Amino acid sequence: MNPTIILFAGGGLVLVLLVVGLLVSSRDERSLVDQRLEYLEEDGLSAKGGKERSAAMTEWIGKQAGRTSWGQNVSQSLARADLKLRVGEYIALTFILMIGGAAIGWYFAGGT
């Protein structure tokens, strides 16, 4: 069998799978996360409960960052990526992960 035919058949199969994947993902209107959050809210449990102080801090960070072009670029990037994060939440999450990664690295390095 000619290798060119195998390459074209494989490429065609990849193209068909890509189109099918795009169609399936575009028709899915609600993500699994949205369904779970809605389920929790129906049970009376809210993912937002008890976070007033942290929400105020991330809101303040978001307002400060929103005044800069960098913050606006981050906001656009988050929207393009379809992440349901605000700029303040993104910055806070990045900072927390940075500190956590440093702590884990310090621990595994023997605390030196």
Cβ(61)–Cβ(87) below 8 Å: yes
Per-residue confidence (pLDDT) for residue 30, from 0 to 100: 56
pLDDT digits (tens, 9 = 90+) for 50-94: 455 567 777 777 777 778 888 888 888 888 888 888 888 888 889
**Domain segments of the chain as ranges:** 54-112
Using the predicted structure, report yes or no on whether residue 99 has a pLDDT greater than 90: yes
- DSSP codes, 42-60: HTT--TTTT-HHHHHHHHH
